[in-house]
Structure 1
Amino acid sequence: MDSLIGYVHGYSEREARRLGDQADTLAELLHAGTAYPVGSRVLEAGCGVGAQTVHLVANSPGARWVALDRSAESLATARARVAAVAPAAEVRWCHADVYELPFRDAEFDHVFVCFLLEHLSNRERALVELRRVLRPGGTLTVIEGDHGTAFFHPDSPYARAVIDCQARLQEVAGGDAHTGRAVGPLLRGAGFGDVSVEVRTVYADAARPDLRGDFVLDTFAAMVGGVREQALEAGLMTPADWDRGMADLRRAAGGDGTFHYAFFKGVGVRPALEVA
């Protein structure tokens, strides 16, 4: 069974570039505090095009990595990306589904998941399977965004509508663009213990012109804008209203505009003693 009913953002070269830009922009924010000891066996589930992988291996060069994705094309891109940036990194690439992992029980010391759960139709099932391959006492790190935390100045109902369109299309595809707020309950529901969640916020205004360009325009607005044709075909907005919404969203990256978004980073531990 495929882990993703449909990846709403698609697999274009433009999307691969956007994912890379997003990972580079958010690397310090998202990866701070995540490093694994030399020799650790670490699984990155849902590695996609390797946008996060390059930062993971840079922060933990001595770890032994397995990077897994259901898309063979994405894995090829990831392999090339890591080879170009970190040729000495020890990474084994695995084409498989997160619901049916081809690994033994307790095979990994740590598991890392970023921007995967939001696209899954059965998040708890995936987390239970990830817990299976994690050794007792090992950690699972999950990072997810939440479109409900997106707010901006000047406010615009049209801009909020285009964001909602992307969230609705993701829901139709089997995912949930508001997964961030559920990270803690999802981990606990899947049997993880010692769960902790941190909220890591992006706030961009005139004092951070780099962040307004890199995150608001090149990451968030680019992501929302990428579903234009899908939204129009589904009749969610008219072309004129969509274009106005995107223009209003981009206004947050100029003049006196501001933009806020939050990511939720959760860590859970596989209990040493589990109730059958």
Structure 2
Amino acid sequence: MADRYVPHAFSDIDSHPDPARLVAALNRLSAHPFFAAYRQRAGELLGARRGSRLLEVGAGTGEAARRLAAQTGAEITVCDLSAVMCGEMRGCGLTRVAVADAGQLPFRDRIFDGVWADRVLQHVSDPERALAEMVRVVRPGGRIVVCDPDTGTQALELADQRLAARVLELRRTVNIRHGTFARRTPGLLAGHGLADVRVEARTLVIRDAREVGGAMGIRDWAEVYARRGYLSRPEADRFNALLGEAIESGRFLFAVTYFLTSGTV
């Protein structure tokens, strides 16, 4: 399916016509209770504490890094492939900021006490290389934490399950380079020799009508695929009508499972 891949908006933010809109979208995601909760847990798994040196790969707006530093006193470096995002992070007070490719981190071997990446490896061109780079820059005894959704676990309740399945498959194959990489992460970390590799599964469930147009942008899915030629106009219109009916009747449900994987170098 690699030939069908269309870069996710967050993969190409520097050339986006309205980067401020993407920054706002990331901030909305950060504020969602589901994401805030597992980010809190990620900090615990990292063993973040005063004086520890940590790195966030693909830090986006830097909100998680700022929060973790304020809560623990850890010294946090952030990096992102986007110069726009790095500028956003500097503007919000972060000082250890680097524009960097996750597959070629500009840091010495074994320099950090812990490294984490949140919803990043699913989008990078070579997630195995990025994971190896994360391992390289962590000292022995240090921690690695990775979180990504497994798009193979998606569920969507609409009256037409064939159309629902088609849209979910488009989400898995068109927008995200490596939608099922999350399930491979534990084995790859074990292959790098990490100890105590553990996985915590957390499922995002959306039923509230107010969230349908919010963090996950569900109301926009069919329109996006119709514009790109993956759905016909009648199919997109039918999806939108069924979505409205499901919301109105209270039957709507969308769910996807995130894997929070950690290990010790």
TM-score by length of 1: 0.78
**Residue 23 (structure 1) aligned with residue 35 (structure 2):** no
CA distance in 2, matches of 1:247, 1:56: 42
Structure 1 residues 28-67: aligned runs within 5 Å:
28-33=36-41, 34-35=43-44, 36-60=48-72, 62-67=73-78
Which secondary structure state, in structure 2, belongs to the residue aligned with residue 147 of structure 1? Answer: strand
RMSD: 2.6
1:197 alignment counterpart: 199
Partner of 2:8: 8
Aligned mates of 2:68, 2:165 — CA distance in 1: 33
Matches within 5 A, 1:54-133: 54-60=66-72, 62-80=73-91, 82-83=92-93, 91-133=95-137
Distance in 2 separating the partners of 1:79 and 1:21: 19
2:173 maps to 1:168: yes
Provide the TM-score with structure 2 as the length reference: 0.81
Query: How many percent identity over aligned positions?
Result: 28
Aligned CA distance change for structure 1 residues 193 and 245 (closer, same or farther; 3 Å): farther
8 A Cα contact 1:65 1:91, kept in partner: no
Deviations 1:100-148 (A, max 9, x none): 2111111100101001110122211111111111000100100101222
- What secondary structure sits across from 2:109 in the alignment? coil
* Match status 1:236 vs 2:230: yes
Q: Note the C-alpha offset of 1:14.
A: 2.4
Q: Matched residues in 1 for 2:27 and 2:148: separation? A: 16
The aligned length equals: 247
Q: Are residues 104 and 164 of structure 1, via their aligned partners in 2, closer, same or farther at CA, if it must alter by over 3 Å?
A: same
CA distance in 2, matches of 1:71, 1:169: 21
Give the counterpart letter for 2:31 in structure 1.
D
Q: What is the Cα deviation at residue 228 of structure 1?
A: 4.3
Q: Verify: 1:184 aligned to 2:179, yes or no.
A: no
Per-residue CA deviations over 1:206-241 (Å, capped at 9, x if unaligned) read: xxx4xx534x4312235x836844x34553211231
In structure 2, C-alpha distance between the alignment counterparts of 1:249 and 1:59, rounded to whole Å? 40
SS at match of 1:99: coil
Q: Is the 8 A contact 1:18 1:219 kept in 2?
A: yes
Aligned to 2:16: none
Measure the CA separation in 2 of the matches of 1:140 and 1:117. Answer: 13
Is this contact kept in 1: 2:167–2:222, CA < 8 A?
no
* Contact persistence 1:159–1:249 (CA under 8 A): no
Look up the SS of the partner of 1:97 in the other structure.
Answer: coil
Contact 1:44 1:112 in 2 (8 A): yes
Q: Which residue type is aligned with residue 166 of structure 2?
A: A
Q: Which runs of 5+ in 2 are unaligned?
A: 14-18
For 1:232 and 1:106, the matched residues in 2 are separated by 47
- Taking the aligned partners of 1:182 and 1:249, their CA distance within structure 2 comes to 32
- Give the 4+ runs in structure 1 shifted more than 6 A: none
Give the direction of change, closer, same or farther, for the CA distance of 1:266–1:254 in structure 2 (3 Å limit): farther
Secondary structure of the 1:37 match is coil
